[in-house]
Structure 1
């Protein structure tokens, strides 16, 4: 009986803790109003082109997945790069991301990366990890 009383008292005390949690559901609020300085894709591309002094060609076709939002940013911290994120506000699993950096900052590919021949004769690499698949193209 004593154990039940202590357990009941403990659960009542936990239930009285005032928890103030803020849920952010709006992707625009998360991306555009964060300290990470995301912006519209065209603005980020323009900043990147000015920095690299080179025209950046983005893919003309995206995967046949419904995206509700896209955001971009140019970051010049450790590695200057353009990041573009495509997201679906209804799905936490639909996230397509493009990172563009200078060949000066080549990434080290893991040993299990597979090689793929592209239509123009160049090669690309891909590898998968638990939560994502990375496709790497070294071009221009």
Structure 2
């Protein structure tokens, strides 16, 4: 795929159960009642294997320019986005559906429908031309300058998102923002990704969504419930592929995510301090 250095984002979303679809950078993953009998590990592995097989076959046999492949468990749908125009989509849509359906027959997703759509281009793609591969890959999937993405999100939600003023005590070479709103308002979410092009483990992310569409973390994956300065509760978990702190403030749900490889530096206490820095005078 063209999505580089964002595996941690994909893995995060898988382990949260929502009653509605949830988009990720590479996979659109969501749990329905039918899949709750299947372990998280099985679902994750099956999803990743199937999406990779579909991508490989479409690119190797048909040379199709794939933007993203995902699975929505709730509505039983395999979603595939392609780069190009409507004429290109009309030409390749049948082949895509046939290949995806054929490969899905070997999995627990054999009864899922297949939806094919165009990837909405980001204006950032046209603005920057001299960027390194990491920047290029992020711009291609809709990331842009944080301030621009934040303003776009404020306008979209019709109210302001307040960000933490504190950052983890590690170095980052890049930070980009994005408004995710491709699959209905239940998936609407603002995110910022911080990363280091030279130190792979320096990954940190903030995700913000309205509380009415908040994601729930299952009880067995909660390590601690922590009281923040404003009296609200935050949930901390190390039982996911990423360490996370989840809390609510001003009718937003915030999720802070950090790569486990820097958990000795970006500790629970650090994440709590970051959470407390929102609206801090």
Q: Normalising by structure 1, what TM-score?
A: 0.76
**Aligned-partner Cα distance in 1 for 2:230–2:248:** 13
1:74 counterpart (179, 190, 194): 179
Q: Is residue 139 from structure 1 mapped to residue 249 from structure 2 by the alignment?
A: yes
Q: Give 1:84's match in structure 2, choosing from 192, 202, 209.
A: 192
Within the candidate set 106, 109, 124, 2:214 is matched to 106
1:55 is matched with 160
How much does 1:130 deviate? 5.1
* TM-score normalised according to structure 2 size: 0.39
CA distance in 2, matches of 1:68, 1:90: 8
Cα RMSD between the aligned structures?
A: 1.3
Unmatched tracts of structure 2, length 5 or more: 1-131, 251-281
Structure 1 runs of 4+ aligned residues shifted over 4 Å read none
Question: 1:52, CA displacement in angstroms?
Answer: 1.0
Q: Which runs of 5+ in 1 are unaligned?
A: 1-24
Pick the structure with more helix per residue.
2
Match of 1:31 among 138, 142, 147: 138
Report the secondary structure of 2:170's partner residue.
coil
Q: Per chain length, whose mean CA-contact separation is higher, i.e. which structure has more relative contact order (CA < 8 Å, sep 6+)?
A: 2
Q: Determine the C-alpha separation between the residues in 2 that align with 1:130 and 1:81.
A: 20
Aligned residues between the structures: 114
Structure showing greater radius of gyration is 1
Single out whichever of 106-115 and 78-87 deviates more from structure 2: 106-115
